[in-house]
Chain A
């Protein structure tokens, strides 16, 4: 039931791009993306509802393909502040809670 994220870890130089994937075996109603820095709580980034949504703000965007039960988070022109662990939270149709993925650790170096 837990969604699977890939890759497990990414190392980038400032200005490089990255894609993080989230895949579920269950029919999804929505996908939520969070970033968590060490020792802090997860911070909400964006929510995507079923309907093939794409969303973005600044240089971070995401897509949701409900037929494949997959979502991807796109980080372009990465900044040092993007470093952290990214989690997708999936809301299975008919439930009201999020089940979180395994996490992707992103490190951006100057």
Chain B
């Protein structure tokens, strides 16, 4: 049973460039989440999907950020015109809600550095 996988693990980009992160959730999980984490802070919710439907986006998510999950399996998070403030670890997580709860499992994260 493979866990949540993210690619790339590290990305250094110049300010103004676009970047895209990919997430492959645990295979039977229908929910997929994106979080962002900066140093010394807890993960901050960005958006989540149930199957291919994007059900919620954080108000913190600017128009430069877009996420997709076209076939209800993998997901991509794109950041356009990156800014230095976008530097963070982007975490993907997945879950399959059951009666015993909605346990959310995180991937290893994708580190973004904007220079």
Contacts and interface: CB of A to CB of B under 8 A. Distances in A.
B33 interface: yes
Given A87-B43, A97-B33, A102-B42, A44 B105 contact: yes
B106 A30 contact: no
A97 to B, nearest CB: 5
Contacts of B42: 2, 87, 100-103
B31 interface: yes
A16 B101 CA distance: 31
Interface of B: 31, 33, 35, 40-45, 48, 50, 55-56, 91, 97, 100-109
Contacts of B106: 34, 41-44
A105 to B, nearest CB: 9
Contact of A42 (B31, B40, B43, B50): B43
Interface string A23-45: 00000001010100000111110
B56 A97 contact: yes
Interface in A60-110: 87, 89, 91, 96-103
Nearest to A49: B101
